[in-house]
Amino acid sequence: MPEYRLELRRSARKEILALQTKIAGQVERTLDRLLASYREGGRPQDVRPLVGLANSYRIDCGEYRILFEVDEGEGIILVFRVRHRRDVYRNL
């Protein structure tokens, strides 16, 4: 089993930096929990697959959604979008 690591696309990093401090903290805690779950060999119960995108998932963080891809072979969790739930699925 690979040692998982978390990577953020530049766009996701910018989206997190634009968030209010409280919400950015919630996102950070959610990402820490996500990474810990994968390292323990599972995934959080609130992770859902994205229809139409292979190896892509979402996890809820209050009113925000974190979209990510998982490369099981390389052990990479790539976060590609962090937005409010009303905007997150636009232009995917």
Name the CATH code of domain 6-84 (choices 3.30.2310.20, 3.40.50.720, 3.30.2290.10, 3.40.50.10860): 3.30.2310.20
E strand spans, 1-92: 5-8, 47-49, 56-61, 64-71, 76-84
The two three-digit tokens of residue 37, written as one number: 């779950």
CB 24 within 8 A of CB 66: no
What is residue 86's predicted lDDT score, i.e. its pLDDT? 96
Q: What is the DSSP letter of 53?
A: S
0.75 exceeded by pTM? yes
Domain boundaries, the chain: 6-84
pLDDT-based confidence at residue 92 (cuts at 50, 70, 90): confident
Q: What is the DSSP letter of 41?
A: T
Tell which phi-psi region holds residue 16, choosing left (phi > 0), alpha (psi between -120 and 50) or beta.
alpha
14-71, pLDDT tens digit by residue? 999 999 999 999 999 999 999 999 999 888 889 999 998 989 999 999 999 999 999 9
Average pLDDT, integer, range 64-80: 96
